[in-house]
Amino acid sequence: MQERYSRQMLFSGIGEEGQALLQNKHVLVIGAGALGTGNAEILVRSGVGTITIADRDYVEWSNLQRQQLYTEEDARNHMPKAIAAKKRLETINSDVKINAHIVDITPLEMEQFVHGIDLIIDATDNFDIRMIMNDISQKYAIPWIYGSIVASYGVSFTVIPGTSPCLHCLMEDVPIGGMTCDTGGVISPVVQLVVAHQTAEALKILTENWEYVRRELISFDLWTNQHASINVSKVKKAACSSCGSEATYPFLTYDNKMKTAVLCGRDTVQIRPAANEQRDLETVAASLSKLGKVEQNDFLLQFKTGENRMVMFKDGRVLVHGTNDEVKAKSLYHKYLA
């Protein structure tokens, strides 16, 4: 360990004691896209003992411009991002334990993943999931680091339960709509800068340098050369239902129904069954091969019908590409995959 982390240990803020702390910490990274891969790689190279990655998607060609762990082979093979990230990270540092989960995060999954976690990194582009993270953070007193990117704009904020305002304090309602990287694009440098802010805060927290943890919300636009550091301490609400004195954690409720969601800017609808169900992809592929072209790997299968492409994961979750019409997507799902 001395040689591998020697330059990091020379830094007075970490040293030998901090490096030993890192080796015994466990970080949960939600999302394995641009922010997720950047965060995971730095934390793995830094020697954090265990990294758990949860992501619902697979690698596509449009990801390669900014999602640094993935290759053309991953895109050709439609590899789930969590699996491709784990494979790459294990070649970077074999001393770090990497857990990978192909999953769409709901309160149920967060409750399963959160035990033994020291820090949660937000690397998703979905505010519903962020609010779940926020409530889990408050319920179990686990810090988490918010990060968001779009175009040339980035934001980061560190949430420390019991000390800082939570995301619910900052945003009383879950934001709906607005520009995303799928509609407004994104440049790689903004990814790296948000990752730098997130991982710097992560290293402070994991080495227990609490006095240096940033208390402000940071935002910047690299293209227009704007930068802001906003003191949000007064935004903390005593009556907040997520972090107040009588918190009810409203975003941790879950109804056991089929859920559909339009994925922003992707002309894709995700369909999640009422309950997780392990599907036998071989059996499904054999049935669908009589109706159209089927491609399959160990984790998912693809089926093309007309202008639509459907991707099924082992947990029964389906992405219907080529439409943002939830009614049409559900009709295709029930016709071919239900």
Do 187 and 65 lie in a common domain? Answer: yes
For residue 244, is it within any domain?
no
Do 167 and 274 lie in a common domain? Answer: no
The whole model's pTM is what? 0.90
Per-residue pLDDT tens listing for the chain (338 residues): 579 999 999 999 999 999 999 999 999 999 999 999 999 999 999 999 999 999 999 999 999 999 999 999 999 999 999 999 999 999 999 999 999 999 999 999 999 999 999 999 999 988 889 999 999 999 999 999 999 999 999 999 999 999 999 999 988 644 434 445 556 788 999 999 999 999 999 999 999 999 999 999 999 999 999 999 999 988 899 999 999 999 999 999 876 566 888 776 678 899 888 776 788 899 999 989 888 889 999 999 999 888 889 999 998 899 999 988 889 989 998 888 87
Do 208 and 59 lie in a common domain? Answer: yes
Do 220 and 268 lie in a common domain? Answer: no
List, in sequence order, the alpha helices (H) in the chain: 6-10, 15-23, 34-46, 72-76, 81-92, 107-113, 127-140, 167-170, 181-184, 188-206, 281-288, 326-336
Domain residues for 311? 259-337
Do 31 and 147 lie in a common domain? Answer: yes
Do 55 and 183 lie in a common domain? Answer: yes
CA distances from 262 to 256, 275, 324, 327 (A): 19, 19, 6, 11
CATH number at residue 283: 3.30.310.10
For residue 236, is it within any domain?
no
Do 284 and 212 lie in a common domain? Answer: no
Do 24 and 134 lie in a common domain? Answer: yes
Do 205 and 300 lie in a common domain? Answer: no
Do 157 and 292 lie in a common domain? Answer: no
Q: What's the gap between Cα 270 and its chain centre? A: 16
Do 150 and 269 lie in a common domain? Answer: no
* 177 vs 181: CA distance, rounded Å: 12
Do 21 and 153 lie in a common domain? Answer: yes
Q: Collapsing DSSP states into helix, strand and coil, what is residue 225?
A: coil
Q: How many domains does the chain have?
A: 2
25 neighbors 203 (Cβ within 8 angstroms): no
